[in-house]
């Protein structure tokens, strides 16, 4: 069936113009076309809207009652279309955003003031969790994740590359042999992240004397929270993995703690094979 709103518009214009011919001229159409539109609407409603004579059109009782409702319906549709148009030209509404805890704290929240000043009609619902949430089930609009995308149903865009380093606190390394090759980590306590498939298997990519290597590590502490790994490393519980700042080349999520207190500092284990490290997805 012809679009009902189009029939409403044709009927309302005929009432206001008082002539099929005048409306046809406005629409660059023909008088029979406009007449057929009104007739189709009458058939759809099951009643006559006009009493037609050779000289004039007169609304029936049903026509008068329907005219007011049709005019309001057209106005409501126009307002809805305008609202969508405004949203397309200027972002508005709630944005539900998921991201890892530390990334959100250090990389996203510091920029929110500037973002909200630019887009004042947007509100943000932050879900900061190191576990990968179900985007559909939890109504998430956008998620920031590290690693490879394994769900083919997701639309993903690469926004950056994160290098990672192996780090440890001086209090842990004191009295121990410093690991110089990836395989040396097997003899150390390592803080493992249970939120990724790699888990206890840390993969290192060359250059280095051993090339690409996968090492199975173990330790007394496991967690699926990046803040937990950070605190465990700073407390001297073992060796951990951390994203790296390019300048200076240190762990960016331990960097603030290093600046605050030298006694709780961390150090990157200084070996090319370890520093050029990436976790397997």
Note whether residue 150 is domain-resident. no
Pairwise CA distance, residues 6 & 37, whole Å = 8
Reported pTM: 0.54
pLDDT of res. 267: 47
Q: Do 138 and 192 share a domain, yes or no?
A: no
What is the reported pLDDT for 251? 47
Q: Around 186, how many Cα atoms within 13 Å sit in the side-chain half-sphere?
A: 9
* Angle between helix 61-89 and helix 4-17 axes, rounded to 10 deg: 120
Statement to judge: residues 117 and 199 lie in one domain: no
In contact, 242 and 277? CB cutoff 8 Å: no
pLDDT at site 265 = 42
165 within 8 A of 204, measured Cβ to Cβ: no
Query: Residue 170 pLDDT > 70, yes or no?
Result: yes
- Residue 95 pLDDT more than 80? yes
* The last residue of a domain, from among 57, 85, 113: 85
40-58 pLDDT, tens per residue?
Answer: 999 999 999 998 877 778 8
Per DSSP (E only), the strands in the chain are 50-52, 57-59, 93-99, 122-128, 142-143, 164-168, 192-193, 201-204, 213-216, 222-223, 240-243, 267-268
Among residues 51, 85, 119, the one where a domain terminates is 85
pLDDT band, residue 88 (cuts 50/70/90): low
pLDDT digits (tens, 9 = 90+) for 218-227: 999 998 888 8
pLDDT of residue 180: 86
On whether both 128 and 182 belong to a single domain, the answer is no
Pairwise pLDDT comparison (129 vs 112), residue with the higher score: 112
Rounded distance between C-alpha atoms, residue 130 and residue 70, angstroms: 52
Summarised one tens digit per residue, pLDDT across range 135-155 is 888 889 999 987 777 777 788
Residue 229 inside a domain? The answer is yes
Residue 206, domain CATH: 3.40.190.290
- What is the domain count for the chain? 3
27 within domain boundaries = yes
Instruction: Kindly state whether residues 97 and 65 are assigned to the same domain.
Output: no
The residue to which tokens 């991201």 are assigned:
99
Query: What Å distances lie between residue 82 and 4, 89, 91, 98, 197, CA to CA?
Result: 19, 11, 14, 30, 47
Q: Choose one of 85, 101, 126: the last residue of a domain.
A: 85
pLDDT above 90 covers a percentage of the chain that reads 24
Domain coverage including residue 60:
4-85
């Amino acid at each position: 069936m012809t679009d009902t709103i189009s029939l409403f518009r044709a009927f309302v214009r005929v009432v206001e113009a008082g002539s099929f011919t005048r409306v046809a001229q406005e629409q660059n159409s023909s008088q029979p076309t406009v007449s057929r539109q009104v007739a189709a609407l009458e058939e759809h409603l099951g009643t006559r809207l006009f009493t037609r004579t050779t000289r004039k059109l007169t609304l029936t009782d049903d026509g008068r009652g329907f005219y007011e409702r049709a005019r309001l319906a057209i106005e409501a549709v126009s307002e809805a279309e305008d609202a969508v148009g405004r949203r397309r030209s200027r972002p508005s509404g709630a944005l539900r955003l998921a991201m890892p805890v530390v990334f959100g704290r250090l990389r996203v929240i510091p920029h929110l003031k500037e973002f909200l000043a630019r887009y004042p009609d947007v509100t943000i619902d932050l879900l900061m969790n190191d576990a990968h949430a179900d985007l559909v089930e939890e109504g998430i609009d956008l998620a920031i994740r590290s690693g490879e995308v394994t769900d083919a149903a997701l639309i993903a865009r690469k926004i950056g590359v994160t290098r990672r380093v192996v780090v440890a606190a001086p209090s842990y390394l004191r009295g121990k042999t410093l690991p110089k090759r990836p395989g040396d980590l097997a003899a150390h306590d390592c803080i493992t992240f249970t939120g990724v498939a790699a888990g206890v298997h840390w993969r290192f990519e060359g250059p280095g004397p051993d090339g690409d290597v996968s090492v199975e590590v173990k330790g007394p502490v496991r967690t699926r929270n990046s803040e937990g790994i950070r605190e465990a490393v700073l407390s001297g519980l073992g060796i951990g993995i951390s994203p790296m700042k390019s300048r200076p080349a240190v762990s960016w999520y331990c960097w603030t703690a290093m600046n605050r207190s030298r006694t709780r500092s961390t150090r990157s284990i200084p070996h090319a094979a370890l520093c050029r490290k990436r976790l397997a997805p």
